[in-house]
Amino acid sequence: MVKAARVVSPAIRVEAAPGGLAGRFQAMASPCEVLVDGADGAELARITGIVAAEVWRIEQHWSRYRNDNVVHRINTAGGRPLTVDAETAQFLDYAAKLHEWSGGLFDVTSGVLRRAWKFDGSDRLPSAGQVNALLPLVGWDKVSWSAPRLQMPMGMEIDFGGIGKEYAVDRACALAGHATRHAVLVNCGGDLASSGPRAGGEPWQVGIDAGGIGAAAALVRLAQGGVATSGDAHRFLLKDGVRYPHVLDPRTGWPVTGGPRAITVAAATCTEAGVLSTVALLHGAGAEDFLEDAGADYTLTW
């Protein structure tokens, strides 16, 4: 009696979705969905395979939970210099530009602050001492980077989690868009990219859950480009009525309070949208001003 999912791999499924079929898989701790306008099931399965392969490749390459990749080599270098691959080098170049562009708000070295901050919905804030002890290990300006050679002080780490998923969505969508004459939409947990409008110029319509905030789901109409969402969703601390979201200001080591709970931004690419939403969230109560100044398409959930 159940309309069975067409399983083409243990990890890739082709299933009925509102308005047609969707290819689905899991990556980067998110459900991922691929829509291919006007394609049949086999074509959708093929394109989903291409998308999944690329997203999984980037996940393996940059996951900080693995011990066999370049991020692990960087984070265990113990102060010694090392040479990174070309793709990682390009990404570090981008990270360096973003650090400068955002006035230090966007920083791929801020991950070590997680040692003090456990965003589990509780009221257990770390002490100022705990946070201050970690600050010497945070800051892109302490890193010596000249592609492809990277050297960081002992104890520092990098983490591409802040923007790696958006990059993967853009790359996978582009690869898929080249592999089929149909328009493609890739959606990994609300970070999405489209290779072009649907047949007849119709926009894609995608529901964004704003990271699990529930009722605050937004319907996004996207012809081409990318959309990304940043928010504290379930990951926050709550003490004395103040909500501390999981995005940490790398300059102080503390969360920025008083801002929106979620920000969804649209831009030419998912990566650009992700940078805008992440940096906007770090502006706290000034998020909207930042987005207005940037001329961004956005929606906020307070």
Applying the rule CB under 8 A, the residues between 44 and 73 that interact with other proteins are 45-46, 49, 52-53, 56, 59, 63, 65-66
Distance CA 75, CA 73 (A): 6
Residue 2 near other proteins by CB under 8 A: yes
Residue 8 near other proteins by CB under 8 A: yes
CA Rg, the chain, in Å? 20
Query: For other proteins, which stretch binds (CB under 8 A), given 71-79, 170-178, 245-253, 280-288?
Result: 170-178
The alpha carbon torsion through 83, 141, 57, 18 (nearest 10 deg) reads -170
Distance CA 235, CA 241 (A): 16
Query: For other proteins, which stretch binds (CB under 8 A), given 70-78, 93-101, 117-125, 239-247?
Result: 93-101
Query: For other proteins, which stretch binds (CB under 8 A), given 125-133, 134-142, 146-154, 266-274?
Result: 266-274
Q: Find the binder of other proteins among 109, 269, 277, 278 (CB under 8 A).
A: 269
Query: For other proteins, which stretch binds (CB under 8 A), given 67-75, 117-125, 148-156, 287-295?
Result: 287-295
Question: Residue 137 or 266: which CB sits closer to other proteins?
Answer: 266
Interaction residues for other proteins, span 178-197 (CB under 8 A)? 178, 189, 194, 196-197
Interaction residues for other proteins, span 202-221 (CB under 8 A)? 203, 207-209, 212, 214-221
User: Taking the complex as a whole, how short is the minimal distance between the CB of residue 301 and other proteins, in angstroms?
Assistant: 8
Interaction residues for other proteins, span 102-161 (CB under 8 A)? none
Q: How far is CA 284 from CA 203, 213, 247, 272, in A?
A: 32, 18, 10, 19
Distance CA 70, CA 171 (A): 19
Going through 127-167 in order, the beta strands assigned E by DSSP cover 144-146, 149-151
Residue 173 near other proteins by CB under 8 A: yes
Question: Residue 19 or 121: which CB sits closer to other proteins?
Answer: 19
Distance CA 93, CA 105 (A): 16
Q: Identify whether the C-beta of residue 226 lies closer than 8 Å to the C-beta of residue 296.
A: no
Segment (H or E) for 204: strand 204-208
User: Taking the complex as a whole, how short is the minimal distance between the CB of residue 289 and other proteins, in angstroms?
Assistant: 10
Distance CA 78, CA 93 (A): 21
Q: Find the binder of other proteins among 159, 191, 249, 272 (CB under 8 A).
A: 272
